[in-house]
Each structure stands twice: as structure tokens, then as C-alpha cells.
Structure 1
């Protein structure tokens, strides 16, 4: 494929345009382009002759056609070009025009020097330029310089390997009732478990315009892992792991791990509690709820008809009224102000001020 092009010349009758038709689907030369070229070189022309000449050329079968545009004799014109710079200064493209019929051609070195004078110093496509001067293709745009755009990076991000969106919304059971006992309020973790990993920011790479100017990528956000006790940071500072069996929580972008679960009450706000560490209840444990802990269980209020199992001690500051259904089962000791209507089983001792209507078994 080759675009059509035109060439200016002189005859005894004045200034003529030699119009060469395109090949294999190339673009036709427009009257506007010829007019801009003539005006750019200070050549006064007859617009009517120009329009008529192009129309006549289109109607004839010849690949080339000459037509007059004025009756002036003009000086010869050197090979010329129009340089276009993209607004972002990343691409310079050129469109060459042939010299007049007896005019001189430019050299590749002259054109390269022109680019330098214009400040274009980066990404110059010398091979393509040399190829043009060996085999010119006029009225055709091609790129002579190309910058390198900046590569934008990405923000740092942290991936958490535990549920950071805990809620206490009760689930609907199959029979249509609401289950307040199994709520998603605790996120358990084990010793050595990976809790979070930091994927560092990618700062990106600088770009360069065809003028040699540095183009910086967009700013990226940096992050670091924030954490509390019972957590180990890896040597590369990209990963944190739990030091204990317990529970993990994310509070204001900071990871906390504890082997003591502290709640105000065990009720519909918490559901049943099953925990690998110790449990501290600042208030009460209500009827029909349960606590199962691998460590100690300390309750600073009262226990109603609930079930409490512990691998360590069970301590109830204000006692237990089990209502005939309360159960305490521990591999350690039981300490309570009183025990009433409850079943108690301890492998250690049971210490209480009073026992009423209860079944109590102690190992020591």
C-alpha cells in the first residue's frame, strides 16, 4: 500500500502540480493538503484551478496527472516535512513532501540535526529515518521519535488470613427459628498461624519524553503491618504469625492476638463460646448458654442454668444457681461463692461457701 502524493514544478506556463494516485488502497491526496503546502511555501494559487485539477485527475485512468495552479514561475523547493508532536510529548511523527521537480532532497543527517535543534533527543528511530531517505514514501505519516511512558505502580496492600468482618447477627435455623447460641463473634487462631501478609508497594518506573524530560509515575500508598502482643513479625517484615492459641481481631488496622477471651456477658450478644485459651466474663452467664475453654474460665458475676467446661480452673465470683440444669466440668479446680441446683465435676478441688441441692464430685 502507498498513499497518493503530489509534487510542485514549473513549466513555461506557470506553476504545476504533479498528482500521483495511491496504490493498493492508500489514501488520496486532498485539495486541502495541497493548498496548505502551497500557502506554507508562499505560493499564490488559483483555488478554482486547484479544485478542477484534482477532479480531473480523479476521472482519468492515468496514475499521474499534471495541472496548472498559477501562471507564476517559482524558485525550486527543497524536500520538506511537517513535524507533529503529540501533546504528551511522547511521540513525534513526520509527513514528508517531495522537492519540486528540480529541487534538492534532504539528507538523513540534515533531518536528524533538525530534530536535535528542535530539542528532540530521546527515542529517535534512526533506522526508520534512514529507510525513508533510501526509499521515500511521501504524504505518509510515520513515527520518528517515541518516548517511554511512566509505568504506574500500585499501592501496598495487606491480606488478612482471618475474618475481619465479624458480626453477631443470629442465623436462621432449618425449622425457621432464630439461633442465638452460635454467633460469629470470635475468630480463633493457633500458634504459628499466619495472620497477615504485606504486599509492598510497587513504585513504578519513570518515563522519558522525546525531549528527554523525566515523567514520574503517580504516587503510591505505602503500608506496614501493625500489631500488638503475642505476634511475631517475619525477618523480611512482610508477614505476622500468632505466638499463642487464642483469638485474633483487627482494630483500626492493627492486629491483636490474645489467649484470654474477655466478654461482658455470655448471652444473645455472644452466643455459646468455644475457645482454646482462657475466658474472662465480666458479667453473667445466662441460662442455656455454654462456655468451653482449654484454659481457665473466670466469671465475675453469676452463672445461671448454663454449661461451663474448662481445661483449667473455673472461678465464679458471685456463685451459680444452675436451676437444675447448670453444669460445671473442669480438669482443674472450681472456686465459687456458692453452688445451687448444679452438677459439678472437678479433677482438682471444689471450694465454695455453700452447696445447696447440687451434685458435686472432686478429685481432691
Structure 2
């Protein structure tokens, strides 16, 4: 009844016996060897409408399966798709592999993926499209950053471990023997950064890994780099080790019960540990870390290291100077950590107030945190943030509308001023180069060759000097611009609970004053405006 034509069509001879209905043809096709072929419904319907005058009726068509490979935009995956055959040939393993090669797939391919796809075509219906992941690239694994591995206990670590009494309770005043090391002790080792592992995409292109960041091991006072291993840091003197940026230092330690009129002011080149309190009017001037296990009241502490106060830091308005100053002042070259503060001036690289800051003036070159833990919820009430790049607190201001001023990224003003000065210098250098070019043109007209040569040599030497100066200024301008953008991009005020009204937020040269109470939010510079984001 049916026969296969060379063009793949399934033909029915209707000259001898005309089919009675469309259903008859369809049933006959189902019983024939061509049951999987694609039925040509339009041709059949045309016949029964009387539009078909041919003696042969095309009732179906035979299609071989088709296979295509799609590569994702990022080239990390290749997807194979099969349109299942209509009574024709299925895709073979060899055909599929040739298609993959033709698509440029060279890495991340697995035979199992392809075999699984080819099996599916025998289970699917004719004309179905089935897809399967055939190749998967690998992302690069970036290298691990270099780290500093400590081999000794530092002063700060020791002071976080109160002494355990015999009855199992903890004596928060007694920290036992202080951490100390002998000369020649291995203090720390730099664990080198790793290069990471390169990745690849399905086309075989290498995706280079980013090497881990490294740093230069820093030998602080009282330490030295080992002569036998440049990655080891050893003690050059006996004393107490303290961490610094990318290294350690070893200090002599001065331990005293309290600082009061009985002891006088303390001035010491190493670290200072005060077991109790610092009394009003007293001063501590040090070069190492200063640790106070009690409180500080209306006193002054200055050090090139860190300051840690286990209890309160309390001052008041300085009535002798028309209430323009605060009587308690802590200034550190490193970081400051205190339990809570009131009417105190704190200045450091980073400042952390674990509980609450009341009417303090805080100045940090980097971050100010009010509270503890991953999501600090301490209160920042009154006072002023005179400069910082980032401030994180639970609540800022009060519900009654206590006025506050917060200045962030003030150092950007200095960068802008320096940029303006560089632009003026560069303009002056350009003028000099322009004048020298005119001099070159004049000298070029001299008839005396020897005189011309001497003058040209002098001019060219001066030109070279100004060109180098211009190049240095342009690099400096580029560095300043990048520094300013990085500063502004990373400057923000983070509030984890409540931002109250009457808080004036200054970021660089832009200002935003809160008019109401806000839920948890972040203030940052967006499109040159201070925006509050929730």
C-alpha cells in the first residue's frame, strides 16, 4: 500500500483503490513499517477536499534525527540537542563526536554524557527535542593569600585569657604571667601565597587563576628576619611580642598597679600594662601597646601602638577652655578598644567601643565599630565622628532627636587639594616644555654648527628633565584619582537597628540630614549624593 520515495516521502497509490477516509489512511500508517514517520496532514486533507489530482498521494515523510551543539555565552558549557527521527536514522556515537569536534569542543567532555543523550533518543517520541549537558568547563581556583603564622602568644592574646581560680571561677583582674620571649625565639612565619589552579572553558581556552595576595614580612622593633629563612621572624631582644601590620615587634614591658598622683605620669618606650585604673589628670606616653585592666577617667594616653581599656573611658567637657575640649583623650598609632566611652576623644586607625559611646569625639583612619560580634548593635549617642571611612553601629542618635555630626571620608578633601596642586604643577611644566620647543626652533636656524650643537644639547637635557617631571606628575594624578575613587566606593555608614532623626551625615563634600527614624539601613555616596539604602 505504501512505498518509500527517494526524497524520503511515503507514497500511497490511490489509482487502483481510493481510500475511504482520512482515518483509514492514518490507521493503515500505524500498522505499516512507516508508523514512525511524520504524517503529512495537509496533503491528506487536500486529497479529501478534492484538491489532489495526482494518482500518488504523499501521506508521510521520513526524517533522520538531527543533532546540534550549543555553546553557552561564557563558553563554560556545551549543550547537545537531538531532534528525534521520524522513522529515519538515529544519531550515532561517531556522528555526535564529529559534531562536537566541529563545534570546537576540546575540554570538559565526557563520553558518559553523550551516551546518556543518545540513549534518550530511543525512548522519546518522533520529533521530540531532547538535550543534555555534554561538556563542562572548570572555573579557576584562585590562590590563597599569604598569611602570618604566630609561634608565640602575644600580649593582646594573653590579656584575653583571665586566670582560672582553684574553685573554677575566673579572676578578671589576674592574667597571670605576661607573655614574654627570649632573644632568638621564632616569633612568626610567613606562609607563602599559592598560585591557584588555572581553569578552562569547553573550547580549551585557559582561564588563568589569580595568585593569592602576598605581603612583605615586617620586622618591627626588637625583631629581625631570620638569616637562614627569609620567611621567619625572630626576636632580636627579650621582651613581650605584639602584632603589627604583617609582622610583630618585641617590647620591653612596664607593669604598674595604677597610674595616679602617687606614681606620676608614665613615659615608657615599650608597652605599658596597668592592673587597675588611670586617675584624672594623669598621662601615659608609650611606644608599645597600652593595656588598662580597669578604667580611665579624664586622663591622656598616647602611644604608637594599640590601646585597650577593659572598662570605661570617661571624661567631661573642659570647663577651663569654655567647654570646647574633652578632658579624656586617647590617641593610638594602631587601634583602640574600650568597653564604653563618655565625653572622650579617641583617635586611632580603627576604633571599637564594645557597648556604648556617649557624646564622644571619634576619629579613625579606617573603621569605627560600636558593639561586638558579626552584627554590632551598640549605641552611638551624641558627640561627633570627625573622620572615618566606615562606621558600624546598632543605633545612632536618640528618639528624642539628639543632634549628631558624622564626617566620613574627610581625607578625600586632602586628596582633592593635592590633585589641584599637581594639576597646577603640571601646567607649569607644560609651559616650560612649550618654551623649550620654541627655543629648539630658534636654535635650529643658527648657521654656526658648533654653537648650534652646544645649545641644542643644553635644551634637550632640560627638556628631558621636564618630561620626566611631567610623567611623574601624571602618574601621581592617576594614583590620587584611583585612591579617591577607592575611598569613596568603600565609605559607608552601617546601622543595624535604628538611625534616628537630627543626624547629619557628611560623606566627602556631600551632606544628608535625617528627618525621621529609619530601620536598619546603610548610608553611602551614590551618584555624588548621600543615599540611604535599606
Q: TM-score, normalised by structure 2?
A: 0.32
- The answer to which structure, 1 or 2, has the higher relative contact order (CA under 8 A, 6+ apart) is 1
Greater share of residues in helix: 2
Q: TM-score, normalised by structure 1?
A: 0.44
